[in-house]
Amino acid sequence: METEVLIIGGGTTGTGIARDLTLRGISCILIDQKDINAGASGANHGLLHSGARYIFKDGEAAVECHRENLLLKRLAPHCIEDTGGLFVAVDQDDDDYIAQFPKLCVKYGLPCKEISVDAARQKEPCLAENLKAAFEVADAVVDPFMLSLDNAAHAQSKGAAILRNMKLTGFEMRNGKIHTAQVENRRTGEKLTIKAQEFVNASGAWADNVAAMAGASIPMSYSKGSLLVTQSRINQAVINRLRPASDADILVPGGTVSIIGTTSVEIDSLDDIRPTVEEVDAIIKEGAQMVPKLATTRYIRAYAGVRPLVRTAGGDGRSISRNYTLKTHTEDGIDNLVTITGGKLTTFRLMAEKASDIVARRLKNTNPCLTETETLPPSTKGEWTEPGKSPRVWMANPERRDTLICECEMVSEYMVDEIVNDLKAEGTIPTLEEVGRRSRIGKGPCQGTFCSFRLAAYLYRKGELADSQGMGQVREFVNERWKGFMPLVRDKELMRVELQESFLCALFGMEEDDE
């Protein structure tokens, strides 16, 4: 295969770059070792920062967030729920810190309005009784899956190719340049060589691994952050704790749930990223100081992502800048590689613009960046990830005699058909994992106990699965959900696990070797 630009990494930044480049008329291929947003882009709060979170430590990041926040609300409104946000402090929080907050907001031009404690609790009855300060800011909620899938879809409509399950295995170097990239399909084992003029490393936490294949290195540290999803929505606006960054400071509502997090745990390896019992306990304990209900509510899932932080000086995960890193590698003797990593979901567009600027300049393309002015067209790619959409569509179309596969989130055969057709049109094999990521299957309270099997049975019926493939995929699907449920099992959850094990092990014997 040949293209002008090969983008490695299908997170928000990578898909943002694919869109940016194609809008400038540059052809590109995007590869991801797994799937769109399989890394940190899919494992965060889904918070569109107002910038206020960063005013104490990183004024520049705060200003960037503020600007991008306004832009995205205008250009990609379908991906955003404009909830507004609150910064609140409770009794034990530092008064000086609180007093600084509105002043710094003014300094960096961020809208911020102090409201009375009573008004705050009226707005968000879940807030602690010992609240002592509250400020309104312009936070919002963004669906990162829809955002990336729509960026990818727009790029595809302009000619870009998006290749999933494609793992980079090496580069062929010639005269200080990357000549080709070798990739391998994780599912089929098929090997491909992709020739390009420019290469973009947008692989997030894997940036150093990719750079190393070209003989360069990026000093990185990995900070794991875990988050918990509540069973029902607790708050209407984003709620931030007004104190120096610590565990469980942000409660973000989204659709029918709320998400509380995060932790910051320095890790050495990117293998097997998962939330732990200790993190879950810490998040609940800390979060309950701000929203007491978090101590008693039920949770349906925990998940963890890795913040890719580029080491500039010493410091722990939270003190290293959240701002992005853009590196050209000319000093490493490589003329056609750009690495863009770090940063935030909120500033993904800006990061994509900066990386694309370098690539375009090198390709002598003088067309301007259009993502700052052109609306992101909604696509159908992410439509079934939207909470509440599946039940609406299902109820509105009784004539389809449409069978529900996932009863918790009401995802039906019709919706699975749509996703399967879409995946196949893109050349992706529709596995349980892929269909799961593009829908809400498995994301409700049963966490895959019933729906994993129903989905497998349906894919068999449609001829999408054959032989004994289904069993492996169900195992993989259930284990992925288990990863996020295991640390949450405290009391009532034990019943669900027992039920699940009764089916999967006592009845089906899925823990036994297949032979």
Partner 1 sequence: MMNKPVNCNVAVIGAGMAGMAAAIFAANRGLSVVCVGKASEISFSSGCLDLFSRIPGSDMPAFDNPFEGIAALTKLQPDHPYAKVGREDIVQGFEEFTGFMNTSGIQYHCTPETNQKIITPAGTLKSTWCVPSAMYAGTRALAEKKKILIVDIRGLKGFGARQMAQSLKKHHPCMGSVTVEFPGRETAGDLMCERLTWDLETPDILSRFIGVLRPHTAGYDTVGLPAILGIYRFEELKNKIEKALGKTVFEIPTLAPSVTGMRTKEAFLGQLPASKVRHYPVMVKDITHGEAGFSFEVSEGIAVREVRAENLILATGRFMGRGLGVNASGNIREMLFDLPVTQPRDRREWFRRDFFNPKGHGVNRSGLETDECFRPLGRGGKVFHPKLYAAGSILAHQDWKREKSGSGISIASAYRAVDHLA
| Choice between 276 and 365, CB closer to partner 1 | 276
| Choice between 57 and 483, CB closer to partner 1 | 483
- Backbone angles phi and psi of 361, in degrees to 5: -60, -45
| Choice between 258 and 297, CB closer to partner 1 | 297
Which residue from 191, 195, 374, 503 is in contact with partner 1, where contact means CB under 8 A? Answer: 503
Which residue from 332, 386, 418, 501 is in contact with partner 1, where contact means CB under 8 A? Answer: 501
Contacts of residue 514, Cβ cutoff 8 Å, sequence gap at least 6: 468, 471
Least distance in angstroms from the C-beta of 430 to partner 1: 15
Write the binding mask 431 to 470 for partner 1: x where contact by CB under 8 A, - elsewhere. Answer: -------------------x--xx-xxx-xx-x-xxxx-x
Strands 191-201 and 337-342, bridge-based pairing: parallel
Bridge partners for 6 per DSSP: 29, 199
Stretch that binds partner 1, among 17-25, 268-276, 291-299, 343-351 (CB under 8 A): 268-276
Nearest to 226 by CA among 40, 450, 4, 419: 40
DSSP label of 503: I
Stretch that binds partner 1, among 151-159, 346-354, 355-363, 488-496 (CB under 8 A): 488-496
Task: Please report whether residue 140 would count as binding partner 1 according to CB under 8 A.
Answer: no
State the Cα torsion 18-19-23-28 to the nearest 10°. Answer: 20
Distance CA 35, CA 20 (A): 20
Tell me if 458 sits within 8 A of 439, measured CB to CB.
no
Burial category of 427 from C-beta neighbours within 10 Å (exposed 0-12, middle 13-18, buried 19 and up): exposed
**DSSP reduced 3-state for 47:** strand
| Choice between 320 and 504, CB closer to partner 1 | 504
Q: How far is CA 498 from CA 60, 282, 299, 300, 408, in A?
A: 50, 26, 17, 16, 18
Which residue from 57, 67, 78, 483 is in contact with partner 1, where contact means CB under 8 A? Answer: 483
Taking the CA atoms of the chain, what radius of gyration do you get in angstroms?
23
Cα 386 to the center of its chain, rounded Å: 14
Write the binding mask 389 to 418 for partner 1: x where contact by CB under 8 A, - elsewhere. Answer: ---------x-xxxxxx------x------
Considering CB under 8 A, how many residues would be counted as binding partner 1? 55
Which residue from 92, 224, 478, 484 is in contact with partner 1, where contact means CB under 8 A? Answer: 478
Least distance in angstroms from the C-beta of 473 to partner 1: 11
Name the amino acid, one letter, at 463: G
Which residue from 106, 212, 277, 370 is in contact with partner 1, where contact means CB under 8 A? Answer: 277
Binding site for partner 1 (CB under 8 A): 272, 274, 276-278, 398, 400-405, 412, 450, 453-454, 456-458, 460-461, 463, 465-468, 470-471, 474-475, 478-479, 482-483, 486, 489-491, 494-495, 497-499, 501-512
